[in-house]
Chains A and B, each alone.
Chain A
Amino acid sequence: MRTWINFSKELPLCFLSHLDLMRLWQRAIRRSKLPVAYSAGFNPHQKLSFASALPVGVTSSDEYLDIQFTEAVNNDGFKRLADALPSGLSIHGRQDIPDGIPPLMSLIGAASWHVSCGLNEPSELGGAVNSLLSSESLPVEREGKRGKKKLDIRPLVLNLELEKSLSGHQLSMLLQTGGDGGARPQEILALLGMAEERLMLHRTALYVRVGARLQRPAYVALIKNEVQIDAKKDYYQL
């Protein structure tokens, strides 16, 4: 049986690295005695993968763990798993996945982020956001294995919005991510002149992309070996 577990990663667990988080899940699964599948070989490891790596220090309310079990797990089993987690990590839901569906990691095409920017002058920031959106190109430099590399991230910026929030204003970003390349939220903040500020960044959702439509993995329809947008649930039209 294969399952996607939808969870959030809040303070203080946002400081865990990808490796730390993997180790945490492995131990929690062992504590809750779930029949997880192990890889073959000299050094067997649990068959687990995440939908998308999250930078250290960033909280998220929409993470996914893709797990392979050797037999069906009932609600009691998942309840035990939820109880085995430390505070800061909570399970929102799960869905059983047909075996033929590709790894969730390969399906993710976009992510939305938000950051509170209470202290910034909204009109000034609004102007910066608009000019960024109307730019033809947004060149950034990235540190690669063979030195610095130039890249235009404009096509990867799907949307930016400045919204009113309880504590002032918040910036929402919808950015492409995954195998076809992605824009990093920190790059957008740098382009807006906010790189130096200590802002708490939050990932609000991950999206599966089918054509010009984006939908959270928790909502998509899985038919045999295919992933489809479920039009009856929320989705985003590019």
Chain B
Amino acid sequence: MSLPRADRRLAALLRICALPAVAIVLLILLFLARESQPVLQHVALNRFISDASWHPLQGLYRLTPMLAATLYATLGALLLAAPLGIASALFSRYYAPPLLAAGYRRMIELLAGIPSVVYGFWGLTTLAPLIGRLHPPGVSLLSGMLVLALMILPTVALTVDAALAAVPVAYLRSAAALGLSRWSLIGGVALPAARPSIAAGILLAAGRAIGETMAVLMVTGNVVQLPQSLFDPVRTLTANIALEMAYATGDHRAALFVSGLALMVMVLVLVATAELFNQERRHV
């Protein structure tokens, strides 16, 4: 079936517009790979796992503690923010009076708009000393998780809220007509119907947590080590790049691009997972 001429022209134009979006992702990957080349040429890939430590100026390139730190911080933040965010969305969608719900949603949107460096500053001057009183030095995996949780909470709350809003009214009316209580309606109808969108929203928040740099850099202490407890300072991959890039040259710089590649691979895995969720049959 051939399209009318105008549509064909438009399609061609749109294709040209769409091309850069895809090209940019590929170019970034290519760029990261090319900038990593100098160090990958004489440092075997497994040394990024098996070296004793991360001291690039002395030729030691162990990345695993930072990979682990990024994963832990993100998982911790998700474990805190996901239940809170879902609860907050349920509150504003099903329990709060309309006026309060509208105001509440504005507040959450405001929370989403606070620049990350402000969270970091608060974490460094207020949260870390508090944790430090409990268990020095204060700047730690725990403070990183808390600050990240606070940052992604609005993302989770808003996406879940939008997902719940998109549940067809017919579902809810039918459930109400069956005489279900409000809680059974939420647990038995609304949440299952919105599940794929909620999962996608949580993965979006996870992406934000993985990529967050400034706030994390200010509150996690940035010591490269595998944390033995929540109170140990850690360094994430993003913080590693931000801390050292300005002052890095030669192999050190290339090794930082390898951290960037590792981060990119992590995000790709995340996006692939999100895609799996999206392929399930969607109600919403």
Partners in one complex: no
Which residues does B use to contact A, with CB under 8 Å? none
